[in-house]
Chain A
Amino acid sequence: GAVVSQHPSRVICKSGTSVKIECRSLDFQATTMFWYRQFPKQSLMLMATSNEGSKATYEQGVEKDKFLINHASLTLSTLTVTSAHPEDSSFYICSASKAGITDTQYFGPGTRLTVL
């Protein structure tokens, strides 16, 4: 298999607080992890690409100081939404690709963030 988990599955927070979302590859080593954002009834938009042990590469228009990504190990990447605001409310999805097999991404179940 190739299972990717995300935690939490759902989080509600107050405006101004920070929220951390974890993405784990459970049964394989993920050299690269990706973070996506999905608005209701819209497509997945790539936010950043994260390689283990190096800084994440952010897509144009994504604030790196707002969305902090850490990929400290081959099985874990975290996305921290800092000073969250209601407009950050969205569905965040991570994916991971196996070492040496870069053309397939395995997706997590997503995290629903609601900022009040």
Chain B
Amino acid sequence: NAGVTQTPKFRVLKTGQSMTLLCAQDMNHEYMYWYRQDPGMGLRLIHYSVGEGTTAKGEVPDGYNVSRLKKQNFLLGLESAAPSQTSVYFCASSRQITGELFFGEGSRLTVL
């Protein structure tokens, strides 16, 4: 089992460029999440999904879009990257709403 896999692990963008981060989980989990972590800070929830075809906004959703077309995948998109979006992005999944979250290893994004 790979658990939660994030692609890519590192990316450098120029302001205004777009990109998509892919999160894949092989545990058949219903719930998936995208967090961002800025240097020296805790994690902040961007968007989450409670099942295939559903998404919802978290604490800091502006500037991001998400899609959950397949149960195992949760995509995070940046349509027009800004330097303020320079951060480490973590994807997570869980089986139940009260269950433990399994995190990926993170994707480090730098926007110049």
Genuine A/B complex: no
Interface residues of B (CB under 8 A from A): none
Interface residues of A (CB under 8 A from B): none
